[in-house]
Amino acid sequence: MKALTDRFVPQQRSPSPPTHLVSSDSEHSDNKCTLWSTSSSVSQPYREPSSTSGRKQLCAATWTSFVKKVSMASGAIKRFQDRVLGPNRTGLPSTTSDFWLLGVCYKLSDDEETDDGSVVAALKQDFSSRILMTYRKGFEPIKDTSYTSDVNWGCMIRSSQMLFAQALLFHRLGRSWRNKNSEVSSVQPEQEYLETLEPFGDSEASAFSIHNLILVGETYGLAAGSWVGPYAICRSWESLACKKRKQSDSLPMAIHIVSGSEDGERGGAPVLCIEDVIKSCVEFSRGEDEWAPLLLLVPLVLGLDRVNPRYIPSLKATFTFPQSLGVLGGKPGASTYIVGVQEDNGFYLDPHDVQQVVTVNKETLDVVDTSSYHCNVLRYVPLESLDPSLALGFYCRDKGAFDDLCLRASTLAEESKGAPLFTVTQTHSLVNHHSSCEFVEDREEEHGEEDDWQLL
Protein backbone atom coordinates (compact mmCIF):
# COMPACT_ATOMS: atom_id res chain seq x y z
CA MET A 1 0.00 0.00 0.00
CA LYS A 2 2.98 2.28 0.46
CA ALA A 3 3.53 1.91 -3.26
CA LEU A 4 0.07 3.33 -3.87
CA THR A 5 0.85 6.35 -1.74
CA ASP A 6 4.28 6.90 -3.22
CA ARG A 7 2.75 6.81 -6.65
CA PHE A 8 0.62 9.86 -5.86
CA VAL A 9 3.00 11.83 -3.61
CA PRO A 10 6.04 13.01 -5.58
CA GLN A 11 8.81 14.71 -3.64
CA GLN A 12 10.06 17.38 -6.05
CA ARG A 13 9.42 18.61 -9.54
CA SER A 14 12.17 18.94 -12.07
CA PRO A 15 11.90 22.15 -14.14
CA SER A 16 13.09 20.43 -17.31
CA PRO A 17 11.74 18.48 -19.03
CA PRO A 18 8.22 19.24 -17.77
CA THR A 19 6.96 15.67 -18.10
CA HIS A 20 9.32 14.31 -15.39
CA LEU A 21 7.59 15.40 -12.20
CA VAL A 22 9.33 13.05 -9.73
CA SER A 23 13.03 13.29 -9.06
CA SER A 24 15.46 12.77 -6.20
CA ASP A 25 16.72 15.52 -3.95
CA SER A 26 20.32 14.81 -4.85
CA GLU A 27 19.72 15.30 -8.55
CA HIS A 28 17.63 18.47 -8.33
CA SER A 29 18.53 20.37 -5.18
CA ASP A 30 17.71 23.70 -6.85
CA ASN A 31 14.17 22.88 -7.93
CA LYS A 32 11.87 25.88 -7.81
CA CYS A 33 8.47 24.21 -7.74
CA THR A 34 8.20 22.04 -4.60
CA LEU A 35 5.03 19.98 -4.38
CA TRP A 36 5.57 18.46 -0.92
CA SER A 37 7.73 20.00 1.76
CA THR A 38 10.03 18.03 4.06
CA SER A 39 7.67 18.64 6.96
CA SER A 40 4.83 16.92 5.04
CA SER A 41 2.92 20.18 4.71
CA VAL A 42 1.68 21.46 1.38
CA SER A 43 3.63 24.47 0.10
CA GLN A 44 2.66 27.02 -2.51
CA PRO A 45 4.22 26.59 -5.96
CA TYR A 46 7.24 28.84 -6.51
CA ARG A 47 6.83 31.48 -9.23
CA GLU A 48 9.84 33.09 -10.83
CA PRO A 49 9.45 36.78 -11.60
CA SER A 50 10.73 36.26 -15.12
CA SER A 51 8.62 33.24 -15.92
CA THR A 52 6.26 33.38 -18.85
CA SER A 53 2.53 32.98 -18.55
CA GLY A 54 2.86 29.54 -20.12
CA ARG A 55 5.28 28.51 -17.39
CA LYS A 56 2.87 29.78 -14.72
CA GLN A 57 0.04 27.83 -16.28
CA LEU A 58 2.16 24.69 -16.36
CA CYS A 59 3.02 24.93 -12.66
CA ALA A 60 -0.59 25.71 -11.75
CA ALA A 61 -1.85 22.83 -13.84
CA THR A 62 0.73 20.54 -12.27
CA TRP A 63 -0.36 21.63 -8.79
CA THR A 64 -4.03 21.04 -9.58
CA SER A 65 -3.25 17.58 -10.93
CA PHE A 66 -1.17 16.78 -7.87
CA VAL A 67 -3.91 17.80 -5.42
CA LYS A 68 -6.37 15.56 -7.25
CA LYS A 69 -3.97 12.64 -7.10
CA VAL A 70 -3.34 13.11 -3.38
CA SER A 71 -7.10 13.07 -2.82
CA MET A 72 -7.26 9.82 -4.75
CA ALA A 73 -4.42 8.35 -2.69
CA SER A 74 -6.16 9.16 0.60
CA GLY A 75 -8.90 6.71 -0.30
CA ALA A 76 -6.74 4.21 -2.15
CA ILE A 77 -6.07 2.02 0.87
CA LYS A 78 -9.74 1.88 1.85
CA ARG A 79 -10.75 1.02 -1.74
CA PHE A 80 -8.12 -1.72 -1.77
CA GLN A 81 -9.52 -3.14 1.49
CA ASP A 82 -13.09 -2.95 0.21
CA ARG A 83 -12.20 -4.63 -3.06
CA VAL A 84 -10.27 -7.48 -1.48
CA LEU A 85 -11.90 -8.04 1.92
CA GLY A 86 -15.27 -6.55 1.05
CA PRO A 87 -16.92 -3.47 2.57
CA ASN A 88 -15.68 -2.65 6.05
CA ARG A 89 -17.85 -4.55 8.53
CA THR A 90 -17.39 -3.72 12.20
CA GLY A 91 -19.19 -4.33 15.46
CA LEU A 92 -21.51 -7.20 16.31
CA PRO A 93 -23.98 -8.11 13.54
CA SER A 94 -26.08 -10.06 16.05
CA THR A 95 -26.77 -9.31 19.70
CA THR A 96 -28.42 -12.66 20.42
CA SER A 97 -26.23 -15.36 18.81
CA ASP A 98 -23.43 -17.09 20.68
CA PHE A 99 -19.97 -15.74 19.95
CA TRP A 100 -17.03 -18.17 20.04
CA LEU A 101 -13.59 -16.65 20.56
CA LEU A 102 -10.69 -19.12 20.56
CA GLY A 103 -12.53 -21.77 22.53
CA VAL A 104 -14.49 -19.43 24.81
CA CYS A 105 -18.24 -18.92 24.35
CA TYR A 106 -19.96 -15.57 24.98
CA LYS A 107 -23.73 -15.95 25.21
CA LEU A 108 -25.26 -12.70 24.06
CA SER A 109 -28.84 -11.71 24.82
CA ASP A 110 -31.21 -8.80 24.25
CA ASP A 111 -32.95 -9.57 27.51
CA GLU A 112 -32.18 -6.64 29.83
CA GLU A 113 -32.90 -8.78 32.88
CA THR A 114 -30.25 -11.37 31.97
CA ASP A 115 -27.71 -9.16 30.19
CA ASP A 116 -26.53 -5.88 31.67
CA GLY A 117 -23.82 -5.43 29.05
CA SER A 118 -21.19 -7.32 31.00
CA VAL A 119 -21.05 -10.15 28.46
CA VAL A 120 -20.34 -7.81 25.57
CA ALA A 121 -17.78 -5.96 27.69
CA ALA A 122 -16.05 -9.24 28.57
CA LEU A 123 -16.06 -10.25 24.89
CA LYS A 124 -14.48 -6.99 23.82
CA GLN A 125 -11.84 -7.20 26.53
CA ASP A 126 -10.98 -10.74 25.44
CA PHE A 127 -10.77 -9.68 21.79
CA SER A 128 -8.61 -6.65 22.58
CA SER A 129 -6.27 -8.88 24.62
CA ARG A 130 -5.35 -10.91 21.54
CA ILE A 131 -1.97 -9.91 20.14
CA LEU A 132 -2.04 -7.88 16.93
CA MET A 133 0.79 -7.80 14.39
CA THR A 134 0.56 -5.31 11.53
CA TYR A 135 2.59 -3.86 8.72
CA ARG A 136 5.58 -1.97 10.10
CA LYS A 137 7.74 0.73 8.55
CA GLY A 138 11.20 1.91 9.40
CA PHE A 139 12.88 -1.39 10.24
CA GLU A 140 16.37 -2.39 9.15
CA PRO A 141 16.59 -3.67 5.54
CA ILE A 142 15.70 -7.32 5.02
CA LYS A 143 18.83 -9.23 4.04
CA ASP A 144 20.52 -7.54 1.08
CA THR A 145 17.33 -5.82 -0.16
CA SER A 146 16.21 -2.23 0.28
CA TYR A 147 12.93 -3.21 1.97
CA THR A 148 12.47 -1.34 5.25
CA SER A 149 8.71 -1.98 5.36
CA ASP A 150 6.42 -4.91 4.56
CA VAL A 151 3.52 -2.70 3.46
CA ASN A 152 1.41 -4.32 0.71
CA TRP A 153 3.06 -7.77 0.85
CA GLY A 154 3.67 -8.99 4.42
CA CYS A 155 0.11 -9.64 5.61
CA MET A 156 0.36 -13.45 5.64
CA ILE A 157 3.62 -13.29 7.59
CA ARG A 158 2.03 -10.88 10.09
CA SER A 159 -1.06 -13.08 10.39
CA SER A 160 1.10 -16.09 11.18
CA GLN A 161 3.05 -14.09 13.75
CA MET A 162 -0.25 -13.33 15.49
CA LEU A 163 -1.19 -17.00 15.69
CA PHE A 164 2.26 -17.99 16.95
CA ALA A 165 2.28 -15.16 19.51
CA GLN A 166 -1.14 -16.29 20.74
CA ALA A 167 0.25 -19.79 21.33
CA LEU A 168 3.16 -18.37 23.34
CA LEU A 169 0.81 -16.15 25.32
CA PHE A 170 -1.47 -19.08 26.18
CA HIS A 171 1.56 -21.14 27.17
CA ARG A 172 3.01 -18.50 29.50
CA LEU A 173 -0.07 -16.76 30.92
CA GLY A 174 -3.00 -19.04 30.12
CA ARG A 175 -6.19 -18.53 28.12
CA SER A 176 -7.80 -16.42 30.87
CA TRP A 177 -5.15 -13.68 30.75
CA ARG A 178 -6.45 -10.21 29.86
CA ASN A 179 -4.55 -7.09 28.89
CA LYS A 180 -4.93 -4.50 31.65
CA ASN A 181 -2.33 -2.05 30.34
CA SER A 182 -4.90 -0.09 28.32
CA GLU A 183 -6.94 0.54 31.47
CA VAL A 184 -4.06 1.73 33.66
CA SER A 185 -1.29 3.20 31.55
CA SER A 186 1.18 3.37 34.45
CA VAL A 187 1.03 -0.38 35.13
CA GLN A 188 4.17 -2.27 34.16
CA PRO A 189 3.26 -5.22 31.87
CA GLU A 190 3.91 -8.74 33.11
CA GLN A 191 7.36 -10.15 32.40
CA GLU A 192 5.84 -13.16 30.61
CA TYR A 193 3.84 -10.82 28.38
CA LEU A 194 6.95 -8.87 27.37
CA GLU A 195 8.81 -12.14 26.80
CA THR A 196 6.06 -13.09 24.37
CA LEU A 197 6.29 -9.87 22.35
CA GLU A 198 10.06 -9.41 22.34
CA PRO A 199 10.93 -12.19 19.80
CA PHE A 200 8.62 -10.59 17.21
CA GLY A 201 10.67 -7.41 16.81
CA ASP A 202 11.55 -6.34 13.30
CA SER A 203 15.24 -7.17 13.13
CA GLU A 204 17.45 -10.20 12.61
CA ALA A 205 18.25 -10.10 16.32
CA SER A 206 14.61 -11.00 17.11
CA ALA A 207 14.01 -14.74 16.88
CA PHE A 208 10.60 -14.67 15.15
CA SER A 209 11.01 -11.51 13.07
CA ILE A 210 9.89 -11.10 9.49
CA HIS A 211 13.61 -11.01 8.62
CA ASN A 212 14.29 -14.49 9.99
CA LEU A 213 11.09 -15.99 8.58
CA ILE A 214 12.06 -14.86 5.08
CA LEU A 215 15.59 -16.17 5.56
CA VAL A 216 14.51 -19.72 6.46
CA GLY A 217 11.48 -19.69 4.16
CA GLU A 218 13.30 -19.19 0.87
CA THR A 219 12.82 -22.89 0.07
CA TYR A 220 9.06 -22.36 0.24
CA GLY A 221 8.98 -19.18 -1.79
CA LEU A 222 9.22 -16.53 0.94
CA ALA A 223 10.88 -13.37 -0.31
CA ALA A 224 10.73 -9.70 0.58
CA GLY A 225 8.12 -8.03 -1.61
CA SER A 226 6.16 -11.22 -2.42
CA TRP A 227 2.95 -12.72 -1.08
CA VAL A 228 2.93 -16.26 0.28
CA GLY A 229 0.25 -18.79 1.11
CA PRO A 230 -0.71 -20.65 4.31
CA TYR A 231 1.12 -23.86 3.39
CA ALA A 232 4.41 -22.06 2.73
CA ILE A 233 4.21 -20.00 5.91
CA CYS A 234 3.44 -23.07 8.06
CA ARG A 235 6.48 -24.90 6.71
CA SER A 236 8.60 -21.79 7.20
CA TRP A 237 7.60 -21.62 10.87
CA GLU A 238 8.52 -25.28 11.22
CA SER A 239 11.95 -24.54 9.79
CA LEU A 240 12.49 -21.45 11.92
CA ALA A 241 11.42 -23.22 15.11
CA CYS A 242 13.86 -26.04 14.46
CA LYS A 243 16.69 -23.62 13.74
CA LYS A 244 16.09 -21.62 16.92
CA ARG A 245 15.67 -24.80 18.95
CA LYS A 246 19.15 -25.92 17.88
CA GLN A 247 20.61 -22.56 18.88
CA SER A 248 18.98 -22.34 22.31
CA ASP A 249 16.33 -23.83 24.54
CA SER A 250 14.16 -20.70 24.44
CA LEU A 251 11.36 -22.19 22.30
CA PRO A 252 8.86 -23.66 24.79
CA MET A 253 6.86 -25.92 22.47
CA ALA A 254 7.12 -28.40 19.63
CA ILE A 255 5.61 -27.59 16.23
CA HIS A 256 3.91 -30.24 14.15
CA ILE A 257 2.42 -29.82 10.67
CA VAL A 258 -0.58 -32.04 10.06
CA SER A 259 0.11 -33.53 6.65
CA GLY A 260 -1.99 -35.57 4.27
CA SER A 261 -1.52 -38.86 2.53
CA GLU A 262 1.15 -38.60 -0.14
CA ASP A 263 0.90 -34.97 -1.28
CA GLY A 264 -2.17 -34.32 0.83
CA GLU A 265 -1.08 -30.84 1.88
CA ARG A 266 -2.23 -29.65 -1.54
CA GLY A 267 -5.77 -30.89 -1.16
CA GLY A 268 -7.93 -33.54 0.45
CA ALA A 269 -8.23 -34.19 4.15
CA PRO A 270 -4.91 -34.12 6.06
CA VAL A 271 -4.31 -36.89 8.57
CA LEU A 272 -3.41 -36.18 12.18
CA CYS A 273 -1.31 -39.20 13.06
CA ILE A 274 -0.84 -39.58 16.81
CA GLU A 275 2.31 -41.63 16.36
CA ASP A 276 3.89 -38.86 14.30
CA VAL A 277 2.98 -36.23 16.89
CA ILE A 278 4.69 -38.27 19.59
CA LYS A 279 7.82 -38.43 17.41
CA SER A 280 7.80 -34.64 17.09
CA CYS A 281 7.53 -34.28 20.87
CA VAL A 282 10.33 -36.76 21.50
CA GLU A 283 12.60 -34.90 19.08
CA PHE A 284 11.72 -31.60 20.74
CA SER A 285 12.65 -32.93 24.18
CA ARG A 286 15.79 -34.56 22.73
CA GLY A 287 14.57 -37.96 23.81
CA GLU A 288 14.01 -37.03 27.43
CA ASP A 289 10.21 -37.18 27.27
CA GLU A 290 7.58 -38.51 24.92
CA TRP A 291 5.45 -35.44 25.31
CA ALA A 292 5.90 -31.66 25.15
CA PRO A 293 3.69 -28.57 24.81
CA LEU A 294 2.54 -28.61 21.20
CA LEU A 295 1.53 -26.22 18.43
CA LEU A 296 -0.39 -27.96 15.64
CA LEU A 297 -0.72 -26.29 12.25
CA VAL A 298 -3.15 -27.69 9.68
CA PRO A 299 -2.85 -26.22 6.14
CA LEU A 300 -6.04 -26.85 4.17
CA VAL A 301 -7.54 -26.35 0.74
CA LEU A 302 -11.33 -26.26 1.12
CA GLY A 303 -12.56 -25.56 -2.38
CA LEU A 304 -11.66 -23.85 -5.64
CA ASP A 305 -12.37 -20.11 -5.78
CA ARG A 306 -13.79 -19.87 -2.27
CA VAL A 307 -14.54 -22.09 0.70
CA ASN A 308 -16.98 -24.85 -0.22
CA PRO A 309 -20.13 -24.35 1.90
CA ARG A 310 -19.93 -28.01 2.98
CA TYR A 311 -16.88 -27.17 5.12
CA ILE A 312 -18.24 -24.09 6.88
CA PRO A 313 -20.06 -25.91 9.74
CA SER A 314 -16.88 -27.84 10.58
CA LEU A 315 -14.74 -24.72 10.24
CA LYS A 316 -16.98 -22.87 12.70
CA ALA A 317 -16.93 -25.82 15.09
CA THR A 318 -13.14 -25.69 15.46
CA PHE A 319 -13.49 -22.36 17.29
CA THR A 320 -15.38 -24.21 20.04
CA PHE A 321 -12.32 -26.37 20.77
CA PRO A 322 -10.49 -25.22 23.94
CA GLN A 323 -7.24 -25.74 21.99
CA SER A 324 -8.25 -23.36 19.17
CA LEU A 325 -5.75 -20.79 17.94
CA GLY A 326 -7.98 -19.62 15.10
CA VAL A 327 -7.42 -19.55 11.37
CA LEU A 328 -4.95 -17.98 8.96
CA GLY A 329 -7.16 -16.95 6.06
CA GLY A 330 -8.61 -14.16 3.98
CA LYS A 331 -8.68 -13.32 0.31
CA PRO A 332 -5.91 -13.77 -2.28
CA GLY A 333 -3.24 -11.20 -1.48
CA ALA A 334 -4.96 -10.08 1.75
CA SER A 335 -4.49 -12.40 4.70
CA THR A 336 -6.09 -11.91 8.12
CA TYR A 337 -6.03 -13.74 11.44
CA ILE A 338 -9.52 -15.04 12.27
CA VAL A 339 -10.02 -15.48 16.02
CA GLY A 340 -13.78 -15.81 16.45
CA VAL A 341 -17.07 -16.74 14.81
CA GLN A 342 -20.69 -15.75 15.21
CA GLU A 343 -23.28 -17.35 12.95
CA ASP A 344 -21.54 -17.46 9.54
CA ASN A 345 -19.16 -14.58 10.11
CA GLY A 346 -15.50 -14.74 11.02
CA PHE A 347 -14.04 -12.03 13.28
CA TYR A 348 -10.46 -11.15 12.57
CA LEU A 349 -7.44 -9.09 13.48
CA ASP A 350 -6.33 -7.06 10.50
CA PRO A 351 -2.59 -6.78 9.74
CA HIS A 352 -3.06 -4.14 7.03
CA ASP A 353 -2.69 -1.07 9.25
CA VAL A 354 0.73 0.55 8.91
CA GLN A 355 2.58 1.34 12.14
CA GLN A 356 6.04 2.55 13.02
CA VAL A 357 8.54 0.00 14.28
CA VAL A 358 8.61 -0.37 18.06
CA THR A 359 11.04 -2.21 20.29
CA VAL A 360 9.89 -4.32 23.22
CA ASN A 361 12.62 -5.21 25.70
CA LYS A 362 11.75 -7.38 28.68
CA GLU A 363 14.79 -5.99 30.55
CA THR A 364 13.58 -2.39 30.35
CA LEU A 365 12.41 -1.11 33.72
CA ASP A 366 10.39 1.80 32.32
CA VAL A 367 6.75 1.39 31.38
CA VAL A 368 6.54 -0.14 27.91
CA ASP A 369 3.88 1.09 25.49
CA THR A 370 2.44 -2.01 23.82
CA SER A 371 -0.77 -0.42 22.56
CA SER A 372 0.22 -1.04 18.92
CA TYR A 373 -0.01 -4.79 19.63
CA HIS A 374 -3.73 -4.71 20.38
CA CYS A 375 -6.96 -3.71 18.64
CA ASN A 376 -10.34 -2.70 20.05
CA VAL A 377 -12.30 -2.81 16.77
CA LEU A 378 -14.34 -5.93 16.01
CA ARG A 379 -14.13 -6.62 12.27
CA TYR A 380 -15.82 -9.51 10.51
CA VAL A 381 -16.05 -11.16 7.11
CA PRO A 382 -18.52 -13.80 5.80
CA LEU A 383 -16.88 -17.21 6.05
CA GLU A 384 -18.25 -18.20 2.66
CA SER A 385 -16.19 -15.46 1.00
CA LEU A 386 -12.83 -16.71 2.30
CA ASP A 387 -10.18 -18.06 0.00
CA PRO A 388 -10.13 -21.88 0.26
CA SER A 389 -6.40 -21.94 1.11
CA LEU A 390 -6.15 -21.46 4.87
CA ALA A 391 -4.58 -22.98 7.96
CA LEU A 392 -5.92 -23.99 11.37
CA GLY A 393 -3.92 -23.66 14.58
CA PHE A 394 -4.23 -25.53 17.89
CA TYR A 395 -2.24 -25.35 21.12
CA CYS A 396 -2.04 -28.36 23.43
CA ARG A 397 -0.39 -27.67 26.78
CA ASP A 398 -0.16 -31.34 27.77
CA LYS A 399 -1.08 -34.86 26.68
CA GLY A 400 -4.55 -34.54 28.17
CA ALA A 401 -5.29 -31.48 26.01
CA PHE A 402 -4.03 -33.30 22.93
CA ASP A 403 -6.17 -36.39 23.63
CA ASP A 404 -9.18 -34.12 24.05
CA LEU A 405 -8.42 -32.44 20.72
CA CYS A 406 -8.18 -35.81 18.98
CA LEU A 407 -11.55 -36.85 20.42
CA ARG A 408 -13.22 -33.62 19.35
CA ALA A 409 -11.67 -33.75 15.87
CA SER A 410 -12.71 -37.37 15.37
CA THR A 411 -16.28 -36.60 16.38
CA LEU A 412 -16.33 -33.58 14.08
CA ALA A 413 -15.05 -35.68 11.16
CA GLU A 414 -17.78 -38.28 11.75
CA GLU A 415 -20.44 -35.55 11.71
CA SER A 416 -19.06 -33.79 8.62
CA LYS A 417 -21.22 -35.76 6.13
CA GLY A 418 -18.23 -36.84 4.08
CA ALA A 419 -16.40 -33.49 4.13
CA PRO A 420 -13.97 -33.62 7.09
CA LEU A 421 -11.39 -30.87 7.59
CA PHE A 422 -8.90 -33.49 8.75
CA THR A 423 -8.99 -36.99 10.19
CA VAL A 424 -7.27 -38.64 13.16
CA THR A 425 -5.45 -41.97 13.23
CA GLN A 426 -3.23 -43.72 15.75
CA THR A 427 -0.70 -44.99 13.21
CA HIS A 428 -0.56 -45.53 9.46
CA SER A 429 1.85 -46.15 6.59
CA LEU A 430 0.44 -43.74 4.04
CA VAL A 431 2.01 -40.59 5.46
CA ASN A 432 5.74 -40.39 4.91
CA HIS A 433 6.43 -38.35 8.01
CA HIS A 434 9.42 -36.04 8.31
CA SER A 435 10.27 -34.64 11.70
CA SER A 436 10.49 -30.88 11.92
CA CYS A 437 14.28 -30.83 12.09
CA GLU A 438 14.74 -33.54 9.47
CA PHE A 439 12.35 -31.63 7.22
CA VAL A 440 14.48 -28.50 7.43
CA GLU A 441 17.70 -30.23 6.51
CA ASP A 442 16.66 -32.79 3.92
CA ARG A 443 13.61 -31.67 1.98
CA GLU A 444 14.34 -29.77 -1.24
CA GLU A 445 11.04 -29.99 -3.07
CA GLU A 446 9.71 -27.14 -5.11
CA HIS A 447 6.85 -25.23 -3.51
CA GLY A 448 5.31 -23.14 -6.23
CA GLU A 449 1.69 -24.20 -6.10
CA GLU A 450 0.39 -21.27 -4.07
CA ASP A 451 -0.73 -19.39 -7.18
CA ASP A 452 -3.97 -18.08 -5.70
CA TRP A 453 -2.01 -16.42 -2.90
CA GLN A 454 0.85 -15.21 -5.05
CA LEU A 455 -1.29 -13.05 -7.32
CA LEU A 456 -3.79 -10.38 -6.36
CB 311 within 8 A of CB 303: yes
| 76-85 helix and 53-74 helix, angle to the nearest 10 degrees | 40
CB 68 within 8 A of CB 62: no
Q: Which residues are catalytic?
A: 155, 350, 352
CB 307 within 8 A of CB 392: no
Amino acid occupying residue 255: I
What is the DSSP secondary structure assignment for residue 343, as one 8-state letter? Answer: T
CB 347 within 8 A of CB 341: yes
Amino acid occupying residue 89: R
Task: Kindly provide the b/e burial profile for residues 188-209, where b requires at least 16 CB atoms within 10 angstroms of the residue's own CB.
Answer: ebbeebbbbbbbbbbeeebbbb
Q: In which element (H, E) is residue 366 found?
A: none
Phi, psi for residue 434 in degrees, rounded to 5: -115, 130
How many CB atoms are located within 10 Å of the residue 50 CB?
Answer: 6
Residues 6+ apart with CB under 8 A from 280: 254, 255, 256, 294, 435, 436
Dist CA 101 CA 386 (whole Å): 18
